[in-house]
Structures are given as C-alpha cells and as structure tokens.
Amino acid sequence: MAAAHDLELESVNLDMGREMKEELEEEEKMTEDGGGKGPAKNKKVHRIVSKWMLPEKSRVTYLERANCFPPPVFIISISLAELAVFIYYAVWKPQKQWITLDTGILESPFIYRPEKREEVWRFISYMLVHAGVQHILGNLAMQLVLGIPLEMVHKGLRVGLVYLAGVIAGSLASSIFDPLKSLVGASGGVYALMGGYFMNVLVNFREMIPAFGIVRLLIIILIIASDMGFALYRRFFVPANGSAVSFAAHIAGGFAGMSIGYTVFSCFDKALLKDPRFWIAIAAYLACVLFAVFFNIFLSPAN
C-alpha cells in the first residue's frame, strides 16, 4: 500500500511538473508571437520587483496575486506634495538663492520650530519642506525608487504606516536631542523605508540573491552616507547668517524603520495584526512617543 501511495504521489508531482512546463512554454510562445505582450511585460515587472523586495518563500504568493490595483498612490502623492511645496518656496517666496532655501522656509507654517511646538501639525508637516535642491532631489529619488516597489508589494496602507511612523519619530527625536533647532525634510520617512528594507534584506540575505543583496546594501549605505553628510553640513557648518537644521530625524526614522518597518515588510503573506512582533514594535514606539510628549511639556530647554 505504501509503495502504491508513493507511486501515486510521484505521478501527481510529474503531472504538476508537466502542467507548469506547458504553461511556461505557452507564455513564451505568446510573447514571441506578440500576443499577450502587455501581460507578459507586467509579469516580468512583478517578477523583478519580487526578487528585490521579497525573500524567496514569499515570491510565489506575490506573483500569484500580483496586480497594480490599487496603484502606488501614497508614495506618488507624497512626492508630488513635497515637490509642489518646494517649488512654491523656491519661486514665489523671496529667497537669496533657490539652490539652498533659507529665509522663506524658516517662516513657513509647515516647518518644525521649537518655539512653535504647540502647533502640533508641525511635527508631521515639516516633511513637506526641504532645505535645497540636493535635499529634495535625494529624498524624492530614494522614496520613489524604493517606495514604489514597496507599495506594489505591501500596498499603500502599510507603506504609509511605516513612512509616517518615521516622520513622527524624526520630529520627536529632534525635539529631545536637538531641542533648539528647526527641522525640515522628509528624511525621517525615507529613512524608515530604508531601515525596514535594510533589515528585511539583512535577515533574509541568503534568500534575496546574495550578489544583488550585497549591491543593495552598498547602495543603501552610499545613499545614507551622502545624505547624512549633507545633514551634518546643514547642522554644524551652516554660514553665520543662516540657520542650522537638526539631523536627528534621520537616525530616529531609521530606527522606526528597523522596528516597525521590518515587522510590516516581513509580514507580506501574513495577517499583520496577528503577529506579536508588530504589537511589540508598536508598544515600544508608543512608549517613546509618550516620553517625547512628556519631555516637550515639562523638560524641554525650549520651554
């Protein structure tokens, strides 16, 4: 009986193998004939995205249900809003120079300023304002290149959660560790995406194509080094007539990404709310938020 059972299983596996082979041959034939060119291209895009964004065990599930609905609206909308605000302050507000903005953005109702912390929207809206061309181009490039594939895989709600967690963590960390300095830029959100992706690549390194994994890690490190260099310059080497800008948001956004972001991005084919790691990360995040609120009300030197 056992032998008969084994033969049946082998027969089933052979049949499945033949079916998969036939499907692949049919797909290749359609591509060669020019028929189904759109679907074939879409599958190729999704296959590339899955290799860059997911460990091997999750790729099959993604490819089975992959589609562009809903499209990556969150990242595109945020990027357009940031670009629109930058153009507004670069063109229609008085500036000494538009390559590195100064006077106009410091009077913006969006920028985080320690003396105006009671205007709580500034803890989030500062992400819309950028200090110069290099600043906004770096953030837009990174969040589009990384954010769109992430949103294709994980959808806008999850990516938005990670991004905004990084933005809020950035402003609260700046209010604690650099309490007398202003804050601009979406680096907190961008670093949250990078932190979550970085941890996902690191933990699943062997499954995410080692050669590409090394390249991805090196690219992330290069971008972080370049962006942190610009942030440190804005903080410590700003001209005497300029205004220093805090860089704590970069670090806090990265930590938010490595905790909440990693948990969210590693739960692609699982129910996020049922994962205990998610609730542990959320609890730790909320504890830090409560401490930051307490610090700003009672202990901040900016009071």
Q: Which residues are catalytic?
A: 187, 250
Between CA 136 and CA 80 the distance in angstroms is: 11
Of the candidates 193, 194, 188, 231, the one whose C-alpha atom is nearest the C-alpha of residue 216 is 194
Phi-psi region of 34 (alpha: psi -120 to 50; beta: other; left: phi over 0): left
Q: Which residues pair with 100 in a beta bridge?
A: 132
Count other Cβ atoms within 10 Å, centred on residue 223. Answer: 18
Query: Any residues with CB less than 8 A from the CB of 89 and at least 6 apart, and which?
Result: 95, 101, 104, 105, 108, 129
Nearest C-alpha neighbor of 93 from the set 108, 83, 82, 79? 108
Question: How far apart, in whole angstroms, are the C-alpha atoms of residue 161 and residue 188?
Answer: 13
Answer positive or negative: Cα dihedral of 220, 159, 270, 68: negative
Concatenated DSSP letters for 128-192? Answer: G--SBHHHHHHHHHHHHHHHHHHHHHHHHHHHHHHHHHHHHHHHHHHHHHSTTSBB-SSHHHHHH
Q: Which of 97, 93, 137 lies closest to 111, judged by CA?
A: 93
Report d(CA 91, CA 95) in Å as an integer: 8
